[in-house]
Chains A and B, each alone.
Chain A
Amino acid sequence: MESGKTKVISVLVENKPGVLHSIANLFRRRNFNIESITVGATQQKDIARMTITVNADEKTLDQVVKQVAKQIDTLTVEELEQGTFVMRELALIKVNITVSKERSDVINFVNVFRGRIIDVSTDSITVEITGGPYKIDAFLNLMKTYGVLELARTGITALARGAKSIRIDE
């Protein structure tokens, strides 16, 4: 395993086929496990933003960032520095409910964490929760008492703080 800290890289790329493959490939080649990757549209529909979190040492990551920058379809790459960006992750958690007291307990926790209940059955509750990864981890830990039947996490997406924006000209 690579020893290092979790880093967040924000990449703007041309929104077209093959780009995700070529970028993900650069991480695979250096045996970096991408902890999470989110890809989606930006304010310009022909540009996509990739938010990649990896656990990596500084020097190797520096190489990968330069290699990502070198890809023809890459517009910008930025390593987001701790404290200079906002980030959110979405998790959907299906919790096992065996007795009705558990249901009210879970609903209380969901309220405390400002989550939402999006599906209920006689023996399960599905919760939507957004926040930083630590908040989701904390909520998940609480739910383990009841039994997590299924879990889906999106991985984080992030933006730098402040008014600064990147506008790519045609």
Chain B
Amino acid sequence: MPKMSGAQALLESLERQNVDTIFGILGGAILPVYDALYNNKKIRHILARHEQCAAHEAEGYAKASGRVGVCMATSGPGATNLVTGIANAYLDSSPVIALTGQIPTCGINSSYMIGRDAFQEADILGITTAITKHNYQPRTVSEIPQMVTNAFHIATTGRPGPVLIDLPKNVQTNIDHVEFTDKHNIRSYRLPQTPKPAQVNQAAELLAKAERPILLIGGGVILAGASDEIIKMSDLLMAPVATTFMGKGAFPENHPLSLGSVGMHGNPAANRLISEADVLLAVGTRFSDRATTNLDTFAKDAKKIQIDIDAAEINKNIEVDLAIIADAKVSLNMLFTATSEKLKKGEGKVWIKRVKEAKEQLSPLLKEIPRDMVPKALLSELRKLLPQNGIITTEVGQNQMWSALYMQALQPRTFISSGGLGTMGFGFPAAIGAKVACQDRIVVDIAGDGSFIMSEQELACSVMEDIPVIVVVLNNGVLGMVAQWQRTLYDRRYNAINLGKTPDFVKLAEAYGAQGIRVDSIDKFKNAVKTAMNSKVTTVIDVPIGSETDVVPFVPPGYGLPQQRGDY
């Protein structure tokens, strides 16, 4: 057995998991790992400018590539700064490994020990218990290899999620014999089995008899790599497909059977048809409040079949008639075979006619697209300029919902956003992470001015580390989504939403050594995007838009999906 320090054992374990990048910021309690990284040729360290962004970068890397994203921080404030990013990864089921330094378990100075409130000590295991899939703290060097193997296994299998490993400083520096292993050994962690044929047959029975079937697919389909299976299923049943916000990209939105995304700011065609369906097949979705809006009226005429790998998602928000707890890809393949045996061909013409008619009447993108500087026009043009495999990230708020409505996602893992936690400031670091994972592809962050300010310091990271991305700032000078709520639900009592005209985003970009372009027409916007796509440096495109533009249509809180309001 080789002898080495805990820090070296950690790095070698990470290499064995094919980790090629760590996003992080160093500090006292993680210095031994950084020292071990000094001569490392296999792992690239990217210096973030805030730990929260390091976590978002790791998540962007994970969401774009499907591989594990790794972030690292020191103890205390470094670790607590990761917390929002870890919570974000937890709610969006992203495979992220967070490494944190920690005060030693023992040492020369006994007041510098875990539990004595030493400098930069935080109980990060306690803090992250509720927002990680699991967390670990090795107490000896020899534990590290197995712990890393287990952590990666947990992060990537079943319903993926973040795992934190907290590394006491003395465990990083101690030297001991270590044995590397690629075999996980967690006896208490069991993954769902292959679905029972009887269940699949029952589901197939329901689907084969359905007159108005609809598919609702969530982020789980992307995580399971089951997009092709969804396309096959939809073609077989001639069933329209609505995605949740997290499912955007799982089904090509330019497909004739695509209804776009469902929900509070969903595509009205999706919202309407879900309410008309008689059988709903939901795959990899937790029926979040933003997708269902009102649990009592959600798809109330439909028999519901739910496929999810997480048993805890069954009957959590929506009661279903039939549940299959298993991997989406495996389940869909079985379901496809079983359904095709039972299905009578040539039926369902009435439903298809209705789907076509609803799309034509209701889909925002099939209505007139203006030539003004409004989000619909801007994002439609951006879609046309962007290659099919171009990656979109979004911030949170109006920019995000406009992107949901107007930015068609055509491939899995090309639409990356903070769906569950709704973290403003996520999009830009996520774009950086996505670009690192997919260097030959264009990455665009669709931002608002309010969100971009929350992570703008990462411009330094993108310039210094040579990670060129594009930021489109839909700049309305306000915190737009909350302004919209104050306008529509609080009788225009605007409070604390005004951002003014500061900063000047062009100058801000230039101050960091990035490129800044301000545009005042659609044509100039198109030119700026083309310039940015060919640029070797990050480009911030400042796009002034009206401060009172609403995201419409909109389902007010408490209302059902078809009760959308607003001219659009």
Interface residues of A (CB under 8 A from B): 13-14, 18, 21-22, 25, 29, 59, 62-63, 66-67, 69-70, 72-75, 168-170
Q: Is B134 within 8 A of A29, CB to CB? A: no
CB within 8 A of B187: which of A21, A62, A170? A170
Q: Is A25 within 8 A of B187, CB to CB? A: no
**Roughly how many angstroms separate A29 CA and B188 CA in the complex, as a whole number?**
23
Q: Which stretch in B125-133, B395-403, B456-464 binds the other chain?
A: B125-133
Given contacts A14-B188, A18-B125, A75-B187, contact A29 B311 (CB under 8 A): no
| Most B-side CB within 10 Å, residue of A69, A70, A170 | A70
CB-defined interface of B305-338 with A at 8 Å, one 1/0 digit per residue? Answer: 0000011101110000000000000000000000
Given contacts A18-B125, A29-B130, A62-B315, contact A70 B188 (CB under 8 A): no
Q: Is B129 within 8 A of A22, CB to CB? A: yes
CB-defined interface of B118-143 with A at 8 Å, one 1/0 digit per residue? Answer: 00000001100110011100000000
CB-defined interface of B291-313 with A at 8 Å, one 1/0 digit per residue? Answer: 00000000000000000001110
15 intermolecular pairs with C-beta atoms under 8 Å apart? A18-B125, A18-B129, A21-B126, A29-B130, A59-B315, A62-B315, A67-B312, A70-B311, A70-B312, A72-B133, A72-B134, A72-B188, A72-B189, A75-B188, A170-B187
- Which residues of A are found within 8 Å of B126, using beta-carbon distances? 21
- Which residues of A are found within 8 Å of B314, using beta-carbon distances? 66
Given contacts A21-B129, A170-B187, contact A70 B315 (CB under 8 A): no
Given contacts A18-B135, A29-B130, 15 further A-B contacts (CB under 8 A): A18-B125, A21-B126, A21-B129, A25-B130, A63-B316, A70-B311, A72-B134, A72-B188, A72-B189, A73-B188, A74-B188, A75-B187, A168-B187, A169-B187, A170-B187
**Nearest CB on A from B30, distance (A):** 21
Interface residues of B (CB under 8 A from A): 125-126, 129-130, 133-135, 154, 186-189, 310-312, 314-316
**Roughly how many angstroms separate A72 CA and B158 CA in the complex, as a whole number?**
11
CB within 8 A of A63: which of B130, B133, B312? B312
- Which residues of B are found within 8 Å of A25, using beta-carbon distances? 129-130
**Roughly how many angstroms separate A132 CA and B126 CA in the complex, as a whole number?**
34
- Which residues of B are found within 8 Å of A74, using beta-carbon distances? 188
- Which residues of B are found within 8 Å of A168, using beta-carbon distances? 187
**Roughly how many angstroms separate A21 CA and B454 CA in the complex, as a whole number?**
33
**Nearest CB on B from A85, distance (A):** 22
- Which residues of B are found within 8 Å of A63, using beta-carbon distances? 312, 316
- Which residues of B are found within 8 Å of A66, using beta-carbon distances? 311-312, 314, 316
**Roughly how many angstroms separate A169 CA and B310 CA in the complex, as a whole number?**
24
Task: Return the chain A residue nearest B319 by Cβ.
Answer: A59
**Roughly how many angstroms separate A168 CA and B187 CA in the complex, as a whole number?**
8
**Roughly how many angstroms separate A75 CA and B189 CA in the complex, as a whole number?**
8
Given contacts A18-B125, A18-B129, contact A69 B188 (CB under 8 A): no
- Which residues of B are found within 8 Å of A22, using beta-carbon distances? 129-130
Task: Return the chain B residue nearest A75 by Cβ.
Answer: B188
**Roughly how many angstroms separate A170 CA and B187 CA in the complex, as a whole number?**
7
**Nearest CB on B from A39, distance (A):** 16
**Roughly how many angstroms separate A69 CA and B190 CA in the complex, as a whole number?**
10
- Which residues of A are found within 8 Å of B310, using beta-carbon distances? 70
Given contacts A21-B126, A29-B130, contact A72 B186 (CB under 8 A): yes
**Roughly how many angstroms separate A108 CA and B88 CA in the complex, as a whole number?**
62
- Which residues of B are found within 8 Å of A62, using beta-carbon distances? 315
**Nearest CB on B from A28, distance (A):** 9
**Roughly how many angstroms separate A92 CA and B316 CA in the complex, as a whole number?**
41
**Roughly how many angstroms separate A73 CA and B188 CA in the complex, as a whole number?**
6
- Which residues of A are found within 8 Å of B316, using beta-carbon distances? 63, 66
**Roughly how many angstroms separate A84 CA and B126 CA in the complex, as a whole number?**
36
**Roughly how many angstroms separate A70 CA and B125 CA in the complex, as a whole number?**
18
- Which residues of B are found within 8 Å of A67, using beta-carbon distances? 312
**Nearest CB on A from B257, distance (A):** 33
**Nearest CB on A from B143, distance (A):** 12
**Nearest CB on A from B105, distance (A):** 12
**Roughly how many angstroms separate A130 CA and B132 CA in the complex, as a whole number?**
40
- Which residues of A are found within 8 Å of B315, using beta-carbon distances? 59, 62
Q: Is B187 within 8 A of A69, CB to CB? A: no
**Nearest CB on A from B384, distance (A):** 44
- Which residues of B are found within 8 Å of A72, using beta-carbon distances? 133-134, 154, 186, 188-189
**Nearest CB on B from A11, distance (A):** 11
**Roughly how many angstroms separate A25 CA and B135 CA in the complex, as a whole number?**
15
- Which residues of B are found within 8 Å of A59, using beta-carbon distances? 315
**Nearest CB on B from A155, distance (A):** 23
Task: Return the chain A residue nearest B126 by Cβ.
Answer: A21
Task: Return the chain B residue nearest A73 by Cβ.
Answer: B188
**Roughly how many angstroms separate A62 CA and B311 CA in the complex, as a whole number?**
11
**Roughly how many angstroms separate A13 CA and B186 CA in the complex, as a whole number?**
12
- Which residues of B are found within 8 Å of A69, using beta-carbon distances? 311-312
**Roughly how many angstroms separate A14 CA and B316 CA in the complex, as a whole number?**
26
**Nearest CB on B from A169, distance (A):** 7
**Roughly how many angstroms separate A25 CA and B263 CA in the complex, as a whole number?**
31
Task: Return the chain B residue nearest A22 by Cβ.
Answer: B129
- Which residues of B are found within 8 Å of A75, using beta-carbon distances? 187-188
**Roughly how many angstroms separate A61 CA and B314 CA in the complex, as a whole number?**
14
**Roughly how many angstroms separate A18 CA and B166 CA in the complex, as a whole number?**
13
**Roughly how many angstroms separate A33 CA and B188 CA in the complex, as a whole number?**
26
**Roughly how many angstroms separate A72 CA and B129 CA in the complex, as a whole number?**
11
**Roughly how many angstroms separate A18 CA and B310 CA in the complex, as a whole number?**
23
**Roughly how many angstroms separate A70 CA and B314 CA in the complex, as a whole number?**
13
- Which residues of B are found within 8 Å of A170, using beta-carbon distances? 187
**Roughly how many angstroms separate A80 CA and B134 CA in the complex, as a whole number?**
27
**Nearest CB on A from B318, distance (A):** 12
**Roughly how many angstroms separate A32 CA and B186 CA in the complex, as a whole number?**
29
**Roughly how many angstroms separate A73 CA and B134 CA in the complex, as a whole number?**
9
- Which residues of A are found within 8 Å of B188, using beta-carbon distances? 13-14, 72-75
**Nearest CB on B from A45, distance (A):** 15
